[in-house]
Amino acid sequence: QLNHTHVTEFILLGFGDHHQALLIPLFLLFLFIYIVTMAGNILIILLVATDRHLHTPMYFFLGNLSCLETFCSSNILPRMLSSFLTGRKVISVNACFVQHYFFGFFGGVECYLLSAMSYDRYLAICKPLHYVTMMNGKLCFQLIVSSWFSGFLSITMTTIIMSKLVFCGDNKIDHFFCDTFPIIELFCGDTSTLKWYIYVLCSAFTFPPSILTFTSYTFIIIAIMKIPSATGKQKAFSTCSSHLLVVTIFYGTLMAVYVIPNTDRLNALHKVFSICYTILTPMINPIIYSLRNKEVKEALRRHISFL
């Protein structure tokens, strides 16, 4: 007989009770990360919106990515900071599902946005003569809308299925936010079919954009290698190096989380990689784009001199 209890709240165990002495240092660390993330991404959004030199498809995508990163961080970090400060780890079931929904939504959108950005770089480097006509305003807008809609569609289907299942007594989530598989562990009965369904669904939505991303960069690297001069190669690579670095960090940490077996022994490692792609990546992205991108640095310089 399964213990079908009406669960109204969850306890997010976070980093465990044995880190009580580190609560304030962790609060200060993650507060610093949140401030840097918000400041960096909002700065890029403002630069893209106000500087006419950045009114191109590449920076339109970048502005959307920065907007996405602010939402992504705000979905997880404020609640974490509150938990560190108050020691309160309880979250209502509804709030948990809302956090889970937006986490999946923003993650799905990011996969498609990164693929759209890689396709933009592919056209710029491999089809330079046709770039202006091919990457026009209409296509740019369609890629942005498709990215946000695909993220919405993928997580909505998953959430509808999960919301119909029943929890069995235990309400402790061994994570610092409401991630999919830690929630599934609390459902009654055998959840292996549900896990496989979610793996297949996530793959169906994330595999196409990831393949497009890596295919685009394969052609980009081949095209760059064919450029005869070293200066030409460096100039061509500099236009996409920032995005390539962002893609590598995002997919590298994401694959590490979902490929490494989720066992008790490796649970701490899972949390470390989860921190990387949910918290550190949104902070690192604007730093990478501002430090490695000449046009962004020039736009920032113009605004500072104007002030």
Summarised one tens digit per residue, pLDDT across range 234-277 is: 887 877 888 888 888 888 877 777 666 666 666 777 778 888 88
Across the beta sheet with 9-12, the strand order is 90-92, 9-12, 172-173
Q: How far is residue 161's CA from residue 180's CA, in Å, rounded to a whole number?
A: 12
Q: Which of 100-114, 167-181, 292-306 has the lowest mean pLDDT?
A: 292-306
Structure tokens at 167: 């929890």
**Please, which pLDDT band fits residue 71 given cuts at 50, 70 and 90?**
very high
Provide mean pLDDT across the span 205-212: 85
Cα distance between residue 128 and residue 118, in whole Å: 14
User: Is pLDDT larger for residue 60 or for residue 292?
Assistant: 60
The amino acid that residue 276 corresponds to is: C
Specify the 3-state DSSP secondary structure of 100. Answer: helix
The mean of the pLDDT values for the chain is 84
Mean pLDDT of 105-129: 91
The whole-number pLDDT of residue 113 equals: 92
**What's at 123, amino acid-wise?**
L
Confidence of residue 1 (pLDDT cuts 50, 70, 90): very low
Q: What is the pLDDT of residue 137?
A: 86
Lowest-confidence segment of 57-61, 122-126, 228-232, 280-284 by average pLDDT: 228-232
Report the pLDDT value the prediction gives residue 63, as an integer from 0 to 100: 92
pLDDT of the residue at 105: 93
Q: Where is average pLDDT lowest: 62-71, 143-152, 202-211, 278-287?
A: 202-211
- pLDDT, residue 265, reads 64
- pTM here is 0.87
186-191: long-range pairs with CB below 8 Å, 24+: 186/7, 186/10, 187/162, 188/2, 188/4, 189/2
Average pLDDT in the 123-134 region? Answer: 89
Q: What is the pLDDT of residues 45-66, one digit of tens each?
A: 999 999 888 888 988 999 999 9
Above 60 in pLDDT, residue 5?
no
- Residue 215: its pLDDT value, please? 93
Average pLDDT over residues 98-122: 92
Residues 123/135, Cβ–Cβ less than 8 Å: yes
- Under the banding of pLDDT at 50, 70 and 90, the label for residue 102 is very high
pLDDT band at 307 (very low <50, low <70, confident <90, very high): low
Buried b (16+ CB within 10 A) or exposed e, 123-155: bbbbeeeebeeebeeebbeebbebbbebbeebb
